[in-house]
Amino acid sequence: MVGFGRIAISVSGIALLTATKMADALTTGVGLRFVPSVYEANPMVDALFRQVGITTGLLVSSCVIVVAITLVTEVASIAVSVRRRDGHLAPIVRLVGYGLPSSLFALVAVYNATVLVAGIRAVGLF
């Protein structure tokens, strides 16, 4: 954690969130480009892909998601710290705020990887 007076930012939480979201984005991008049966299930992100392209859409949507989760998590942990001066609950807020979405993104990336392997096998490359 990086501290600025009474405010601390969880660099490790942000790094984990970013890494898992990038794994999700990378496996999604590869699947959309190279496996014909793969499609984007999120209609908002799919609309973004049609407007700006897959690569730009993945970069934009991933960055927006990471920034939004970081802002919500950090503001919530600061609010908890201010409300409870000892700040003991702030790490729990960060654990949940970064841990749950990171776990979800990791699971999605693993699922995407299984879809990629199945797609590669179906084409006979593997």
Domain coordinates of the chain in residue numbers?
A: 7-123
Q: Residue 27 corresponds to which tokens in the numbers above?
A: 């496996």
What would the pLDDT profile of 33-52 be if each residue is shown by its tens digit? Answer: 988 888 898 999 999 999 99
pTM as predicted:
0.85
Confidence of residue 5 (pLDDT cuts 50, 70, 90): very low
- Residue 6 host element (H or E): none
Q: Residue 32 corresponds to which tokens in the numbers above?
A: 């959309």
Q: Tally Cβ neighbours within 10 Å of residue 23.
A: 18
- pLDDT of 3 strictly over 70: no
Confidence of residue 66 (pLDDT cuts 50, 70, 90): very high
Task: Specify the pLDDT at position 1.
Answer: 55
Burial class (CB in 10 A: 0-12, 13-18, 19+), 53: exposed
